[in-house]
Amino acid sequence: MNLYQLTEKLISIPSVTEQEAQLAEFVSDFLQARGFHVQLQQVTAARQNLLATAGAVPKVILCTHLDTVPPFIPFSQDERFLYGRGACDAKGAMAAMLQAALRLRDEGQRDFGLLFVVGEEGDSIGAKRANELNPGS
C-alpha cells in the first residue's frame, strides 16, 4: 500500500471523537501485519490508545491522534488534492508517519515507537492516559 492509498484508506474510516475504534483496529492490524509489536491501552470502555514499537525500547516516540472533529466527511479527490475529514488533521500526517516507520524499520532502525491517541479533538483524554504507558515493557 503506497502513501496515497494509505491516506485514502485512513480518510475513508470514520473516526470522529469518541468513535475511534474502527481506525484504531485498522492501524493495529496494519502494523502487526508488518511485524510491529502493538500495545493497546484502554482509555474508556470503547476507546483505546495504541503504542507500536519496532522491536527495541524506543528512544523517540512519534505521536498523532486517531480522532477527527465531526461530522464525518467521506474521501474524495480532484486532479490536485485529497479531501475528507482528517485529510489535513491528522490522517495525512498519520499515513506519512506510518510509511516513514516502515522505511526506518526496513533500514534497520528499531529504537522508535508510534503512539496513536484518542480524544485530541475533545478533552485530550488519550494523551493524558498515554503518560501512564511504559514503552519499554
Assign 13 a pLDDT band (cuts: 50, 70, 90).
Answer: very high
Is residue 98 within 8 A of residue 91, CB to CB? The reply is no
Tally of structural domains, the chain? 1
pLDDT confidence of residue 48: 98
Quote the DSSP letter at residue 36: -
Share of the chain above pLDDT 70, in %: 99
Structural domain range at position 7: 3-130
The CATH number of the domain holding residue 65 is 3.40.630.10
Confidence check: pLDDT of 137 > 70: no
Q: Is residue 98 part of a domain?
A: yes
Catalytic entry in 8, 20, 120, 121: 120
pLDDT confidence of residue 135: 79
pLDDT confidence of residue 34: 98
18 is catalytic: no
Q: Is residue 37 part of a domain?
A: yes
ω into residue 71 within 30 of 0, thus cis? yes
Alpha-carbon span 119 to 21, nearest angstrom: 11
Quote the DSSP letter at residue 68: B
Q: Render pLDDT for 14-68 as a digit per residue (tens, 0 to 9).
A: 999 999 999 999 999 999 999 999 999 999 999 999 999 998 899 999 999 999 9
- All three cell numbers of 120, joined, read 485530541
